[in-house]
């Protein structure tokens, strides 16, 4: 899989992707991650990427031209059509399900916003607009790191054991992961639950399932709320063959 990231601060991301399982996957050639400086796709001597917003208002807006050129340059290096994703506070909420969907792609391009946002015309070259949460960041770099790592670790071979992924929060269902423990069995009067020391796999799985439900109920009860029923088709829709 190939991931390209376009940003005005490439140095913010270079170190992040050099370490951990993603860094190892890059070295092994399992995942390719390229970080592009948006300023490299300007044509003026000042390498200007932003300008004042039409209609007035505070701050600056990132111009469309450098993003168009960056995406066109990256696409010229590919033999497949990539998903082009603008990371934005106005985007659709990024979830594990979307990460699984993106992990099936051969290439994705992540565009990082800054300042007061990105010229809306950039969306004409995007397939998706994603947000990592209902809060505001100074730019899209942190969001790009989140999306890239979440997607890359789902690529076969990046994480050593597939079972590790299956125990992640949100992987198979809308539940948080169960609590985890390791040695020592007792620390400052705090003991590991006895069931985890028994070696009884069935009891351990039952404990983890129950603990995951309890943790989800405590921290994210919204995940346990029933999904709204699908709307019934209208008579006109129902009559179509």
pLDDT in tens, 24-81: 999 999 999 999 999 999 999 999 999 999 999 899 999 999 999 999 999 999 999 9
pLDDT of residue 173: 65
- Supply the pTM of this predicted model: 0.84
pLDDT in tens, 109-131: 999 999 889 999 999 999 999 99
Architecture of the domain defined by 173-224: Orthogonal Bundle (1.10)
Instruction: Give the C-alpha separation, 62 to 120, whole Å.
Output: 10
Q: What are the boundaries of each domain within the chain?
A: 2-152, 173-224
pLDDT of residue 240: 44
Q: Return the CA Rg of the chain.
A: 22
Confidence of residue 239 (pLDDT cuts 50, 70, 90): very low
> What is the CATH code of the structural domain delimited by 2-152?
3.40.1280.10
- pLDDT beyond 90 at 169: no
Q: Give Dmax (Cα) for the chain.
A: 69
SS3 category, 43: coil
23 sits in the region (left: phi over 0; alpha: psi -120 to 50; else beta) called alpha
**Greater pLDDT, 18 or 241:** 18
Confidence of residue 150 (pLDDT cuts 50, 70, 90): very high
Average per-residue pLDDT for the chain? 90
């Amino acid at each position: 899989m190939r991931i390209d990231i376009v940003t005005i601060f490439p140095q913010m991301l270079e170190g992040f992707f050099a370490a951990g399982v993603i860094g190892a996957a890059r070295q092994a050639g399992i995942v390719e991650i390229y970080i592009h400086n948006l300023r490299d796709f300007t044509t003026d001597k000042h390498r200007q990427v932003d300008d004042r917003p039409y209609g007035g208002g505070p701050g600056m807006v990132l111009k469309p031209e450098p993003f168009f050129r960056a995406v066109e340059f990256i696409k010229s290096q590919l033999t497949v059509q990539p998903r082009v994703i603008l990371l934005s506070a106005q985007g659709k909420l990024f979830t594990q399900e979307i990460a699984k969907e993106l992990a099936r792609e051969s290439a994705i391009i992540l565009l990082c916003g800054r300042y007061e946002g990105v010229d809306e015309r950039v969306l004409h070259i995007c397939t998706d607009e994603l947000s990592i949460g209902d809060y505001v960041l100074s730019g899209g770099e942190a969001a790009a790191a989140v999306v890239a790592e979440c997607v890359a670790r789902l690529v076969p071979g990046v994480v050593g054991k597939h079972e590790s992924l299956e125990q992640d929060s949100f992987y198979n269902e809308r539940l948080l992961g169960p609590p985890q423990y390791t040695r020592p069995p007792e620390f400052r009067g705090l003991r590991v639950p006895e069931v985890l020391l028994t070696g009884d796999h069935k009891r351990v799985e039952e404990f983890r399932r129950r603990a995951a439900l309890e943790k989800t109920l405590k921290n994210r009860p919204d995940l346990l709320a029933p999904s709204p029923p699908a709307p019934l088709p209208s008579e006109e829709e129902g009559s179509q063959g």
